[in-house]
Structure 1
Amino acid sequence: MPVLPSLESTTFDADLRDRHLIYDYAAQDEHGNPEKWRYEMWFYNEDRINYAIHGGPMAGRVNFQTATYQCIRPGELWQCNWLEETGTICSLVYDISNSRITTLLGFSKGHWEQAEAAHGDKRNPQDLERWRGLARLGIQTDRKLLSEQANIVWDFRGPGDLKPIEMDWPTL
């Protein structure tokens, strides 16, 4: 049985609930030229995240997922972790004080090598089924680890342009 951190007696409501961040990674294209990879994350509630990717190889991906949250320092640092249908493991640390996101992504072989197939919206059954197929490519150790930091461009409350989700919709 997994041990999950309790959010009881934390500053989750003030720090994260319904918080929406839009942030840019300073990355490089395949030729080494600078480019921005824009991501959008909505910390929906204590059980879910809702996000969209607007730049980089994963641009065009819209998803929501069950997440676990862990308070590192109240009012300053939070960690959010989730597993995607593609088999990709995601870990994000939100540094409130410095307006920074630090991530470690363990892309599945299918997701990394077939990034175009990982695009789409989870609400579309064909996209979801294709994503699940990506998770079956390779073995667990066939992963691309990507450690990056991003600067937060916008920080606000509410859905912004992301579509709300229903809590009874299935996730991993």
Structure 2
Amino acid sequence: MPKVYDYSAFKPTNHPVCDWQMNPAPQAMIKTQPDQDLSEFVGKHIIYTYANGWQYEYYFRNESLGDYRIHSGSVANRWTTHQKLMVVNVGHGTYKFAWVEPTGSVCCLDVNFKERWIHGFFGLSQWINKDPSLSVLHQNEHLDAMRKHRDEGPLYPLVVNWDFAEITFIEDCGRDRDDVINCDPSELPAGYIDRRN
């Protein structure tokens, strides 16, 4: 009998922020796994710099939502709030955060807050690579446009970034705050992204 695969996770939906369907309890299927306490990262706000010099900022609102701003690189000045995340504690102080954007791009961060490193992967949709200016905005205010561009494509080939980053700034801001990432990167005060601790 041929094997039947479930491809539902790859079917776009019209959810306000996320464009995938999730297994509500993937951990329930595996008997041996790290403790799934996710409290360590909730409310953390970080600034990180990839080995290629690109700078990003992320605020972990709660166990399933995050906000980010991109400060440099091909899509600098793009920002998103209330991005739906898939999160798992992979053990040894490391968490995996993954999401699919309404643009069709796929992102994943492996984050170790104690040792202050990240390994990031993103597969950037080809339509963004062809004209980055189409996505350099506050995504939440332009979801219909992002889906339209995604559906018109092209999505492939994805432009892949696969790199380590250093967490250069970290603070605890508390959960579910709307004032941590709430404006375009160009509106931030001078020196904001260069803070270190």
Whole-angstrom distance in 1 between the partners of 2:38 and 2:58 = 16
User: Which position in structure 2 is the counterpart of 1:99?
Assistant: 116
Which residue, out of 120, 140, 163, partners 1:148?
Answer: 163
User: 1:161: Cα distance to partner?
Assistant: 4.1
Greater strand fraction, Structure 1 or Structure 2: 1
Whole-angstrom distance in 1 between the partners of 2:104 and 2:41 = 25
| Corresponding position: 1:19 with 2:44 | yes
Contact 1:87 1:134 (C-alpha < 8 Å) held by counterparts: no
| SS of residue paired to 2:74 | coil
| SS of residue paired to 2:26 | coil
Deviations 1:107-145 (A, max 9, x none): 111122221111100242xx3333223312025x42122
Whole-angstrom distance in 2 between the partners of 1:85 and 1:20 = 23
Q: Percent identity?
A: 21
Whole-angstrom distance in 2 between the partners of 1:49 and 1:5 = 21
Whole-angstrom distance in 1 between the partners of 2:51 and 2:145 = 29
| Corresponding position: 1:157 with 2:172 | yes
Contact 1:121 1:128 (C-alpha < 8 Å) held by counterparts: no
Question: What is the number of residues matched between the two proteins?
Answer: 150
Q: Which runs of 5+ in 2 are unaligned?
A: 1-21, 29-34, 184-197
Q: Which runs of 5+ in 1 are unaligned?
A: 28-35, 165-172
Which residue, out of 124, 132, 148, partners 2:147?
Answer: 132
Q: 2:181 is aligned with what amino acid?
A: L
User: Which position in structure 2 is the counterpart of 1:46?
Assistant: 63
Contact 1:118 1:130 (C-alpha < 8 Å) held by counterparts: no
TM-score (norm 1): 0.77
| SS of residue paired to 1:90 | strand
User: Which position in structure 2 is the counterpart of 1:30?
Assistant: none
Whole-angstrom distance in 1 between the partners of 2:77 and 2:143 = 14
Whole-angstrom distance in 1 between the partners of 2:26 and 2:129 = 28
| SS of residue paired to 2:54 | strand
Whole-angstrom distance in 2 between the partners of 1:81 and 1:5 = 15
Q: Which has the larger radius of gyration?
A: 2
TM-score (norm 2): 0.68
Whole-angstrom distance in 2 between the partners of 1:5 and 1:79 = 14
| SS of residue paired to 2:128 | helix
